[in-house]
Amino acid sequence: MSDLPATEAQSARSRDLDTRSIVDVVRLIVEDQRRAADAVLAQRAAIARVVEVLATRVRAGGRIHYVGAGTSGRLGVLDASEMPPTFGCDPSLVCAHIAGGERAMRAAVEGAEDDDDAGRTAMRGHVEPDDAVLGISASGGARYVAGALHAAHEIGAYTVALVNVAQAPLVHIADDAVVIETGAEVLTGSTRLKAGTAQKIALNAISTALMVRLGKVYDNLMIDVVATNAKLRERAERLVCMLAGIDAARARELLAQADGRAKVAVVMATREIDARTAATLLARVRGNLRALL
């Protein structure tokens, strides 16, 4: 049917999929995933534009919201949940809203994607005018996401459509759009494959670039990593040793005084000051370590 979104089309490359060898099936799936990365790369300028606006919003006290249904919603939840341990940011900075609620993380919730009123309700009382809302949808037509974007726009938030189909309905609702055209799937309509991979890459790029812009990264190091296990404590120790030019014993001592905050420990070592003073200096430069080194 000509009115179907491209993500629902049947791929000529994978016809007779059920008759092929498993080696060939695997080849087709993996080759298609590579196309997802290329499709995201083609939208790097649009992604960068969105990141700059998000950074402005966050500096003004705003938060980031991901809204999606099904696979798209789950990917938003995944990215949001990984932000605090990776970058030491407040857990409320990046919020995820999925159609059908928490139950939809593990099971399909009937009708949830089509409930635009639920999308509107998810935004009310949660979204503020300084916030930004990213609506994620492979087809670009999920009504739950559309309702959310409409409500967010009415509140005054910056809205973005992250979709896999050109001229999708969400593109015409949002203030901005990142359109990653991935086309037909190896398994017809299974957008957890190439479209989902493209969304994951795009979300990785958006959230990581945002944290880079906000000073949560020094060089290419996760300087604000939260040391919640042995591996991460060792990583924090290595970071302090590397950046402050001190030995491991001294790094451990400073990290203990800094409550495990590697960035604070580095400033303590390089400025020869206590943890409170180091934290105050970092606060003055919005946590940008490079400004103090």
Catalytic residue numbers, as ranges = 82, 113
| Alpha-carbon 278 to chain mean position | 30
**Any residues with CB less than 8 A from the CB of 212 and at least 6 apart, and which?**
none
CB 146 within 8 A of CB 122: no
Please state the length of the chain: 293
d(CA 166, CA 168): 5
176-179 sheet: strands from edge to edge? 94-98, 64-68, 132-137, 158-163, 176-179
SS3 content of the chain, % helix, strand, coil (to 5): 55, 10, 35
DSSP character at residue 228: -
Decide: 232 and 224 in contact? Cβ < 8 Å: no
Question: Any idea which residue has 């900075």 for tokens?
Answer: 93
**DSSP state, 137?**
E
Rounded distance between C-alpha atoms, residue 227 and residue 218, angstroms: 17
**Residue 257: Cβ-neighbour burial (10 angstroms; 0-12, 13-18, 19+):** middle
Question: In whole angstroms, what is the distance from residue 120 CA to residue 116 CA?
Answer: 6
At 246, give phi and psi (nearest 5°): -125, 170
